[in-house]
Chains A and B, each alone.
Chain A
Amino acid sequence: MRAIFLCGLLLSLLLTGCSSDQDSGAYNRGIYLLIDTSGTYTNELNKAQQIINYTLAKLNSGDTFVVASIDTASFSEKDIISKITFDDRPSKANQQKRIFKEKIDQYVKQVKSSRYTDITGGILQATEFLNERNSQTKTILIFSDLKEELKEGYIRDIPFTLQGFDVVALNVTKLRSDNIDPREYMDRLAEWSRRVEEGGGQWKVINDLERLDKLVQ
Chain B
Amino acid sequence: MNIPASFLIVSNSPLLSLLLWFVLISALFYMARKPAHDAIISASRILFHAFRLGGASLVLAAKRLKVRNKEVLLAEGKVASERIIEREFERVNAAVTKDLSTFPALQRSISETVTEIDEDYHKSAEVPPVPPGWAKALEPIATISTADNSMVAEVLKSIKVTLDKGQEKALAEYRTSSKERHAWLKKMVPNLRQIEKGLSEANLCIKNLLERSSTIDRHMDEFEQINKGSNMVEQKLSSSSLTQFFISGFVLAIAIGGAIINFNLIARPMQEMVGGSVHMLGFRVADIAALVIILVEVSMGLFLMESLRITRLFPVIGALEDKVRFRMVIVSFVFLFLLASIESGLAYMRELLSQDDAALVAGLLGDVANNPVEMSGRWITMAAQMGMGFVLPFALTFVAIPLESFIHSLRTVLGVVFVGFLYLSAGLLRLLGNISRYSGKSLVNIYDLVIFLPLWVERTIVARNSIGVETGVAAENMTAFDSNSSKEQNYSKASTKKRMSRKVITKKTVKKGDDSSLTQTQEVLS
Contacts and interface: CB of A to CB of B under 8 A. Distances in A.
Contacts of A28: 277
Given A54-B364, A57-B361, A97-B360, A90 B278 contact: no
Contact of A61 (B277, B280, B360, B364): B277
B271 A61 contact: yes
Interface stretch (A14-22, A33-41, A181-189): A14-22
B504 to A, nearest CB: 81
Contacts of B360: 57, 94, 97-98
A198 interface: no
Given A17-B280, A20-B278, A94-B356, A89 B364 contact: no
Contacts of A48: none
A182 B476 CA distance: 113
A89 B349 CA distance: 12
A88 B361 CA distance: 19
B356 A89 contact: no
A63 B276 CA distance: 10
B264 to A, nearest CB: 15
Interface string A54-67: 10110011110000
A21 B281 CA distance: 11
B268 A90 contact: yes
B363 A101 contact: yes
A113 interface: no
Contacts of A54: 364-365
7 contacts: A53-B366, A62-B278, A88-B275, A89-B272, A89-B275, A90-B271, A90-B357
Interface in B364-405: 364-366
A91 interface: yes
The B contact surface, by secondary structure, is: helix
A90 B272 contact: yes
B188 interface: no
A62 B353 contact: no
Contact of B279 (A20, A53, A57, A90): A20
Contacts of A86: 277
Interface string A74-89: 0000000000001011
A90 B284 CA distance: 14
B353 A61 contact: no
Interface residues of B, number: 21
A98 B363 contact: yes
A159 B268 CA distance: 43
B364 A53 contact: yes
Contact of B277 (A88, A97, A98, A101): A88
B285 interface: yes
Contacts of B268: 90
A101 B364 CA distance: 8
Given A16-B281, A90-B268, A61 B275 contact: yes
Contacts of A24: 277-279
Contact of A57 (B271, B275, B284, B365): B365
A40 B285 CA distance: 47
Interface string A92-106: 011001100100000
Contacts of A17: 280
Nearest to A86: B277
Contacts of B271: 61, 88-90
Contact of A97 (B281, B284, B364): B364
A129 interface: no
